[in-house]
Amino acid sequence: MKFTGFILALFLSLSGFAQKNYLLIGRNTGNKTLEDSTKIRTFGFARNLNENPPIPGPTLYAKPGDSVTIDFWNVSQGASHTIHLHGLDVDQQNDGVPHLSFTVLHMEHGYYRFKAVHPGVYLYHCHVLSPIHVQAGMYGMLIIERNDSLEYMENGSLKRADFSFPILFSEVDTNWHKDSVLMQGHDAMIHTAKLPKYEAQYFLANGREQNSWTNSPIHKPKGDYLMRLANVGNYAIELDQLPPGSRIVNSDGRDLPTALSLDSSWSIYPGERYDIVFTAETDQNLRFTYRNLNTWKAMGQLIIPIQLFRIGIESNPINQVQLFPNPGTGSIQIGGLNGAADASYRVYNTAGQLMQEGVCENEIQLRGLKPGLYFIELQIGNQVLRERYSLSQP
Amino acid sequence: MADSTWLPMYSLSDVDSFQKGRSILELVRNQDTLELWVVNRHTQAHSLSCVTNQSVAAGDSVLFTLIPKSGDPHYFALQATDESENYLGLHTLIAIKEKASQKLFIWQLEERSLAIDAAILNQQAYDFANYDPTYFLINKRYNPQTLQDSFGRVVGGVGDSLYILVVNWGHADHSLHFHGYHIWDLDGLSKLPAPASKDTLPVRKGESGRLLLVPDKTGEYPVHDHNLVAVSGGGVYPNGMFTTLLIQ
């Protein structure tokens, strides 16, 4: 028996498979300020009770073979929620459809479990009154990556990009963010709702509008890019201005046996996901048009610039980094970081005490800190950025 | 409709009364021959197309003879040649199976706009430039009536090869999302090299194609338009383009 146990333990330690645990907190009390200063109420998935739930929710990561558990804690003032694991082909119990799986009531925990199998991009979102709760902000990306975020399969061969970045498209119709629309059906058994006419006025990618992308573009060197796209909105996203040589290598979490070259436009319909690779030799403006599925009219447009720099000659990457909003309530977006693999941060109070530290991707979430002034130190390689940050009440 | 809204609707039915979505026929390729008599119970003449075009006067009937052979598409469309009649539902299909035992399900997608309905009934001009439908249908039904649809409700077992023929008769694009499974897009609806494995795929207006589902587990899993506004009928969620797969 001892021998058997040893063999099992050795296998597990060598396999690289992990148990991944995520905590997502469902909130109905979020808010978002749009670029024209319009404020809307939002729902969302937060990582701690102090956090204004971000739009989109946190991106979850796993590797093939990982066992993933999402502890969903519903702190939503009476409303029920679920998590649908979009595209992961989970069993009925974990599918997150209220009347076919289970509903998580106010102050309850629900546990969603799945085994990560196919690398690719997926979504998670609430499936209670789904048109309303998704519009409200209860969605995020889930990425199953190979050894790291840069690897992909093309024509049956494992390849590696120099950079990768995810983009999640969505829209906002402010009429859908009124309490009269958002706050219906708190009874867990009520799953019907009256929907207003949908006509989005704001067009988001990773929760960001055009000015944010213009002011804080993707800033990286020349190289091979892996762009991971997903659409959780109600419009189709037409890509009609992509770099020459762009290819689709994966869709809906399945590698294409043969990459598809994009010679003209391509559309990402609601719920679809794509991995697109390309080589950026010059600056690019990626153009995404939001199209109404009933009329194919262009309802909005986002241009995401890629501005290239030459390492060590033209640019100092840390100078491109911006922390915003500041002042803020503890959810800090980092613009211009663009997935730098070695970025870390430290948060100090005015007495110089280290209050929080960690590695960062595109945002920092302050946890358990009192409102006041802090100093945030962001380090990329051997370069350091220090900024004053004013934490206000959520 | 189930919500008591009255929509003008043409129907082709296999019984001598008005029935919605009761006209889907199936043939086996290289085996069956169909002599299809279409009887016009309406008070006006109609021009119909099914491989050939024929006009049928009020109270009269016409014969279409269909012999599905190799190289023919996966269905014959029987539809009005007039756009407004087609919009009002004067269409159906004769599906072609590769063999008699093939498990084939049919999803005819379409939408309805009350404004267009009114314009047609009042013989006013209309166009689809500002199309704003409020009913989103599968085989002329919306959820939960879709669950009672013997043509469209997918019922099968683990390991079965379940084919779904999707035809978009409507004027809007739809984005069908499958819970629980990836399906094979056999005819390139996704525009990816066929067959592509997808859990969400577009069905653009005027397009059609076959999907293959081979379930690997039991359960009941939704399929719905992921333009979530289309999962409503008359503005009420979830009375829209939603059905479930029942795998036993």
d(CA B136, CA B226): 12
* Chain A residues within an 8 Å CB radius of B239: 192
How many other CB atoms are found less than 10 A from the CB of residue A326? 15
**Which residue is associated with the tokens 């008769």?**
B169
Taken in order A204, A209, A212, A215, is the CA torsion positive or negative?
positive
Q: Name the phi and psi angles at A311, rounded to 5.
A: -60, 130
| Collapsed DSSP state (helix, strand, coil) of residue A64 | coil
CB B20 within 8 A of CB B9: yes
Q: Per the omega criterion (within 30 degrees of 0), is the bond before B195 cis?
A: yes
CATH superfamily of the domain spanning A2-136: Cupredoxins -  blue copper proteins (2.60.40.420)
CB pair distance less than 8 Å for B220 and A92:
yes
d(CA B177, CA B224): 5
Residues with Cβ within 8 Å of residue B72, at least 6 apart in sequence: B29, B96
CB pair distance less than 8 Å for B221 and A95:
yes
Q: What is the pLDDT of residue A2?
A: 40
Q: What is the pLDDT of residue A314?
A: 41
* pTM of full prediction above 0.95: no
Q: Which residue of A has its CA nearest to B179?
A: A89
Residue B78's pLDDT band, with cuts at 50, 70 and 90, is very high
CB pair distance less than 8 Å for B182 and A129:
no
Chain B, 131-170: which have a CB under 8 Å from a chain A CB? 131-133
Residues with Cβ within 8 Å of residue B215, at least 6 apart in sequence: B156, B157, B158, B159, B160, B162, B180, B181, B245, B247
CB A358 within 8 A of CB A381: no
If one looks up domain A171-308 in CATH, what number appears? 2.60.40.420
d(CA A60, CA A144): 8
Residues with Cβ within 8 Å of residue A135, at least 6 apart in sequence: A172, A173, A176, A177, A234, B228
Counting one residue from A and one from B, how many pairs have CB atoms under 8 Å apart?
136
**Element containing residue A6 per DSSP (H, E):** helix A2-15
* Chain A residues within an 8 Å CB radius of B177: 86, 270-271
d(CA A238, CA A288): 6
* Chain A residues within an 8 Å CB radius of B241: none
In DSSP terms, A343 is beta-bridged to A380
Q: Tell me what percent of chain A is helix, strand and coil, each rounded to the nearest 5.
A: 10, 50, 40
Q: What is the pLDDT of residue A10?
A: 41
CB B104 within 8 A of CB B200: no
Chain B, 16-75: which have a CB under 8 Å from a chain A CB? none
CB pair distance less than 8 Å for A90 and B180:
yes
Read out DSSP for A90-120?
A: --GGGS--TTTS--B-TT-EEEEEEE--S-E
CB pair distance less than 8 Å for B200 and A95:
no
Read out DSSP for A377-393?
A: EEEETTEEEEEEEEE--
Q: B35-67: per-residue pLDDT in tens?
A: 999 999 999 999 999 999 999 999 999 999 999
* Chain A residues within an 8 Å CB radius of B180: 89-92, 95
C-alpha B191, offset from chain centre = 20
Q: B161-217: per-residue pLDDT in tens?
A: 999 999 999 999 999 999 999 999 999 999 999 999 999 999 999 999 999 999 999
- CATH of A312-391 among 2.60.40.1270, 2.60.120.10, 3.30.379.10, 1.10.1130.10: 2.60.40.1270
* Chain A residues within an 8 Å CB radius of B225: 270
Q: B121-150: per-residue pLDDT in tens?
A: 999 999 999 999 999 999 999 999 999 999
Q: What is the CA radius of gyration of chain A?
A: 21
CB A95 within 8 A of CB B179: yes
Residues with Cβ within 8 Å of residue A325, at least 6 apart in sequence: A33, A332, A333
Q: Per the omega criterion (within 30 degrees of 0), is the bond before A305 cis?
A: no
* Chain A residues within an 8 Å CB radius of B218: 92
Q: What is the pLDDT of residue A312?
A: 44
User: Dihedral (C-alpha) B209, B214, B220, B222: value to the nearest 10 degrees?
Assistant: -30
Token code pair at residue B99: 């063999």
CA–CA distances in Å: residue A196 to residues A39, A228, B232: 19, 32, 10
In DSSP terms, B175 is beta-bridged to B202
CB B166 within 8 A of CB B211: yes
* Chain B residues within an 8 Å CB radius of A271: 175, 177, 199-200, 226
C-alpha B222, offset from chain centre = 18
Low-confidence ranges of chain A (pLDDT < 50): 1-14, 311-316
d(CA A100, CA A94): 10
CB pair distance less than 8 Å for B244 and A100:
yes
Sorted by where each begins, the domain ranges of chain A are 2-136, 171-308, 312-391
Q: What is the pLDDT of residue A357?
A: 86
CB pair distance less than 8 Å for B226 and A271:
yes
Q: Name the phi and psi angles at B26, rounded to 5.
A: -130, 140
Q: Which residue of B has its CA nearest to A255?
A: B197
| Collapsed DSSP state (helix, strand, coil) of residue A134 | helix
Would an 8 Å CB–CB cutoff place B199 in contact with chain A? yes
Are the folds of A171-308 and A312-391 the same?
yes
Mutation target among B199, B214, B220, B221 for the A interface, most CBs of A within 10 A: B199
Q: What letter does residue A81 receive in the DSSP assignment?
A: B
| Shortest Cα–Cα distance, A253 to chain B (Å) | 8
CB pair distance less than 8 Å for A254 and B182:
yes
Token code pair at residue B64: 């279409």
* Chain A residues within an 8 Å CB radius of B191: 266
CB pair distance less than 8 Å for A129 and B200:
no
Helix H, strand E, coil C: the string for chain B is CCCCCCCCCCCCCCCCCCCCCCCCEEEECCCCCEEEEEECCCCCCEEEEECEEEEECCCCEEEEEECCCCCCCCEEEEEECCHHHHHCCCEEEEEEECCCCCEEEEEEEEEECHHHHHHHHCCCCCCCCCCCCCEEEECCECCCHHHHCCCCCEEECCCCCEEEEEEECCCCCEEEEECCCCEEECCCCCCCCCCEEECEEEECCCCEEEEEECCCCCEEEEEEECCHHHCCECCEECCCCEEEEEEC
| Collapsed DSSP state (helix, strand, coil) of residue A159 | strand
| Shortest Cα–Cα distance, B225 to chain A (Å) | 8
ipTM here:
0.96
Token code pair at residue A330: 């503890």
Q: Which residue of B has its CA nearest to A171?
A: B227
Q: Which residue of B has its CA nearest to A196?
A: B235
Share of chain B above pLDDT 90, in %: 91
Termini Cα distance of chain B = 30
In DSSP terms, A356 is beta-bridged to A347
d(CA A249, CA A254): 9
Q: What is the pLDDT of residue A61?
A: 96
**Element containing residue A24 per DSSP (H, E):** strand A19-33
Q: What is the CA radius of gyration of chain B?
A: 18
Strand duo A266-268 + A218-220: pairing: unpaired
CB B156 within 8 A of CB B215: yes
| Shortest Cα–Cα distance, B150 to chain A (Å) | 21
**Element containing residue A31 per DSSP (H, E):** strand A19-33
Q: Name the phi and psi angles at B235, rounded to 5.
A: 80, 10
d(CA B110, CA B119): 18
Q: What letter does residue A122 receive in the DSSP assignment?
A: E
